[in-house]
Structure 1
């Protein structure tokens, strides 16, 4: 699904200078490159641990986001000082864990 972003002010001026200098062909190309650089700064394990800490995802879902096993995700959480919650914290997490684990059977 495409997203529309409005760029104006100093950002717009700087991007237009980059285009005028021939570094980028258009605004969309410059923005995509900027996003690639931004997203490289964030490790999926960091994001997964933070989502888990905020209780927005279950342990299994966090492991799926991070691309690691549930055991490894527990280790990562402990390394970051986040205590893994014991058991399933409600029906939502149970369903989320079920869906995550069901997708790994292939």
Structure 2
């Protein structure tokens, strides 16, 4: 099965339909579209790492802020409140910039 998949990727790349990188990105987008729970899981992990606000996490997850709060509570994850110091904000901004 994996061999067939790799062969299909190679065929698509050779025929000019996609570069392997573009094909990987498209497959990733399709996976997240078909399995929205994975989007939620990824967004929550990034929230736990401190890289996202509650609102941005909900946006990425494709759910409302209230739904996100429920999911965080179900997982025993505390909601961050209050203002961060300038140093912490700078660290988060730098970390996110490196991802893109």
TM-score, normalized by length of structure 2? 0.54
Structure 2 residue runs without a partner (length 5+): 90-100
Partner of 1:102: none
Structure index of larger Rg: 1
Partner SS state of residue 55, structure 1: coil
Aligned Cα RMSD in Å?
Answer: 3.8
CA separation of 1:35 and 1:74: change in aligned 2, threshold 3 A? same
CA shift at 1:26, angstroms?
Answer: 2.8
Give the superposition deviation at 1:90.
4.4
Structure 1 residue corresponding to 2:69, chosen from 63, 66, 74:
74
Aligned CA distance change for structure 1 residues 34 and 90 (closer, same or farther; 3 Å): closer
> What's the TM-score, normalizing by structure 1?
0.51
The structure where helix makes up a greater share of residues is 2
Identify the match of residue 45 of structure 1 among 11, 25, 40: 40
What 5-or-longer segments of structure 1 have no aligned partner?
A: 1-13, 93-106
Following the alignment from structure 1 to structure 2, what is the Cα–Cα distance between the partners of residues 48 and 37? 15
Q: What is the aligned partner in structure 1 of residue 27 from structure 2?
A: 36
Distance change (3 Å), C-alpha of 1:87 and 1:47: same
Q: Distance in 2 between matches of 1:56 and 1:65?
A: 12
Once the 2 structures are TM-superposed, how far is the Cα of residue 29 of structure 1 from its aligned partner? 4.7
